[in-house]
Amino acid sequence: MNNIEFSNLHREARVKNLKETHFDLVVIGGGITGAGILLDAASRGLKTALIEKNDFASGTSSKSTKLIHGGLRYLKQFDFWLVKEVGSERAIVHQLAPHLVIPEKMLLPLIENGSYGKWLTSVGLKVYDILAQVEGEDQRQMLDASKAIELEPLLPEKILKGAGFYAEYRTDDARLTLENIKTALNYDAVPINYTKVTDFVYDEDEIIKGVEVEDQVSGDNYFIKSNYVINAAGPWVDELRSLNKSKKGKQLHLTKGVHLVFPHEKLPVKQSVYFDVPDGRMIFAIPRGKITYVGTTDTNYNDNKDDVKTDIADAIYLISAVNNMFPSINLEMDDIVSSWAGLRPLIHEEGKAPSELSRKDEIFTSATGLLSIAGGKLTGYRKMAERVVNRVAELMKEEGTEIRECYTDKIPLCGGPWKSFSEVKSYIEELSSKIESKGLKPYHARYLVTTYGKQSESILTLFEKFEGEPEERMVRAEYEFCATYECIQNPFDFFVRRTGRLYFDIDSVRKYQEIILQDHQELFAADSEAIDDLRSDLKHEIDMHSNFSLDRI
């Protein structure tokens, strides 16, 4: 797909469009669910806008475990429907964006007195494969202890009984969100970030006919007219239901999930592992380039939804879990190089612990016509979008208008299209050869392609205009690309959500923040005071993600 300019440098024109257009649908929430709805609705021919109060994917959708997975643990809850649906969706989303949704073999160690026994794991993984329609070499294998140790030498040999070996997919949740939004631009969708809904607009019959918003950049307040409004605000769904005076019946139950990042040499797992924690939970250890990350926790959350932090207790819990499973590893607080913490917007069920709550999504319809969708999993975002847009289609049909059925399973996402993952791998090899003469390494080719796909070519074109050492030139080229085509407002959007550098390569943030602040000042005509504020905020952000010394308590 050709790049469509999507820049905050032209924000005024987008705001003018939002003010002057009468939309069929306004979507509130720029996470993966809202992004999926935007693409689904716009591709069916609906004139659709999306409003996000912060940056796209700045809430839950940049804070997940970054896996497109079927949810093996839901088999233990006998939630076969959920396993079947998200298992099937894994393959579809991989096909739509194989550069972003990458096959990842998962090792499930079987240990003495562990959560999974050998027979139950064998049967469970077989059922998992059947429900998810897994074929060929991706079907599960049951390994003896020696073969498991061969795949992952760090496992505890004394208590290891064997392992299950099965297929999942790894992704970058924020990039997946953004590429859905950018793909929707091809269908004349109008998304905007840093725009907060402050109220709803009603007709004389008290039916919603739009939203009132506040531009978080300019401070401007204006109205957006729309026939229908979908509330897909994740953890903030109930706040909007309260604003609509429709927070009745079922409500959200927020739980916090934390992940820690370590240098790969400190936790040198050879491949992804899904392993037992002494309290009966399971967590992941996932190698990714220069780092390995582990998570996640699952605890009730009732604090500030706009300021979710990794606490010392979270860090201690995860470090203890890793050291327990990998006895030759002795991780300490000082080994943490970064972290992230996010919220799961689940549907409350009385008497259930956080990890027992269903991950199914539900749609609530208020008397005023507000459609709210909550719950669900990253993996199932496309089906969630289809269900809620189908609800809009039913309402439109009652009024005499029919729209086409969902076909997002046939729409390749930005960065493609690709014929298969093999083509992605070939493209990475081709790019590795091409960039060698520029002083870049094979790591950079893989990073570019698994972040931007075929859009890497645009970044390498921009690379030529900059001077300096190769990696600095590439970071600057990325920043200009994101400023032009990915609607960034500040360096945080770039370092956290467009590139994931704050999580996966935090040293590069420290190293290149000054040159990026200079480029930002030039591109956005920012004054020196604003740059000083950004510099201070960046320092604070880096510290909060990476410093876990006891003086932080």
Examine the domain organization and report whether 264 and 247 are in the same domain.
no
Helices (H), 437-469: 442-452, 456-463
359-371 in b/e form (b: 16+ CB < 10 A) is bbbebbebebbbb
Is residue 39's pLDDT more than 80? yes
Pair of tokens at residue 447: 């990073």
User: Closest Cα partner for 480 from 432, 472, 175?
Assistant: 472
Q: What is the CA radius of gyration of the chain?
A: 23
Distance separating the N- and C-terminal Cα atoms of the chain: 48
Is residue 335's pLDDT more than 60? yes
Beta bridge partners of 182: none
Q: Which of 2-16, 55-69, 112-126, 470-484 has the lowest mean pLDDT?
A: 112-126
Amino acid sitting at position 71? G
Examine the domain organization and report whether 432 and 331 are in the same domain.
no
Examine the domain organization and report whether 197 and 185 are in the same domain.
yes
Residues 235/253, Cβ–Cβ less than 8 Å: no
Examine the domain organization and report whether 122 and 199 are in the same domain.
no
> What CATH number is associated with residue 286?
3.30.9.10
User: Closest Cα partner for 100 from 192, 7, 186, 182?
Assistant: 182
- Which helix (DSSP H) or strand (DSSP E) does residue 89 occupy? helix 80-96
Any idea what DSSP says for residue 194?
Answer: S
Q: Is residue 65 part of a domain?
A: no
Is residue 549's pLDDT more than 90? no
Higher pLDDT, 81 or 367: 367
- Please state, in angstroms and rounded to a whole number, the distance separating the CA atoms of residues 342 and 296: 10
Pair of tokens at residue 269: 């797992």
Residues 38/180, Cβ–Cβ less than 8 Å: yes
Q: Is residue 288 part of a domain?
A: yes
Secondary structure class of 120 (helix, strand, coil) = helix
Examine the domain organization and report whether 275 and 160 are in the same domain.
yes
Examine the domain organization and report whether 277 and 337 are in the same domain.
yes
Q: Kindly report each contact of residues 216-225 with a partner whose C-beta sits within 8 Å and lies 24 or more positions away, as own/partner.
A: 216/53, 216/54, 217/8, 217/11, 217/489, 218/11, 218/15, 220/15, 222/15, 222/18, 222/19, 223/19, 224/18, 224/19, 224/21, 224/23, 224/26, 224/49, 224/51, 225/21, 225/22, 225/23, 225/201
With pLDDT > 90 as the criterion, what percentage of the chain qualifies?
Answer: 77
Examine the domain organization and report whether 364 and 379 are in the same domain.
yes
Instruction: Give pLDDT tens digits for 418-473.
Output: 999 999 999 999 999 999 999 999 999 999 999 999 999 999 999 999 999 999 99
Query: What range defines the domain where residue 241 resides?
Result: 8-60+174-251+358-410
Q: What is the mean pLDDT of the chain?
A: 91
Token pair 């009984």 in the structure block, residue: 161
Instruction: Give pLDDT tens digits for 143-182.
Output: 999 999 999 999 999 999 999 998 889 999 999 999 999 9
Instruction: Give pLDDT tens digits for 194-235.
Output: 999 999 999 999 999 999 999 999 999 999 999 999 999 999
Examine the domain organization and report whether 32 and 103 are in the same domain.
no
- Please state, in angstroms and rounded to a whole number, the distance separating the CA atoms of residues 551 and 553: 5
Dihedral sign computed on CA atoms, order 260, 303, 234, 50 = negative
Examine the domain organization and report whether 548 and 506 are in the same domain.
yes
Is residue 99's pLDDT more than 70? yes
Q: Is residue 89 part of a domain?
A: no
Band (91; pLDDT cuts 50, 70, 90): confident
Band (140; pLDDT cuts 50, 70, 90): confident
Examine the domain organization and report whether 163 and 280 are in the same domain.
yes
Examine the domain organization and report whether 187 and 108 are in the same domain.
no
Q: Is residue 84 part of a domain?
A: no
Name every residue whose Cβ is closer than 8 Å to that of residue 464 and which is 6 or more positions away in sequence: none
Strands 338-347, 252-263: pairing kind? antiparallel
> What CATH number is associated with residue 25?
3.50.50.60
Q: Is residue 445 part of a domain?
A: yes
- Please state, in angstroms and rounded to a whole number, the distance separating the CA atoms of residues 395 and 153: 57
Please state at what angle helix 456-463 crosses helix 470-485, rounded to 10 degrees.
Answer: 120
Examine the domain organization and report whether 316 and 365 are in the same domain.
no
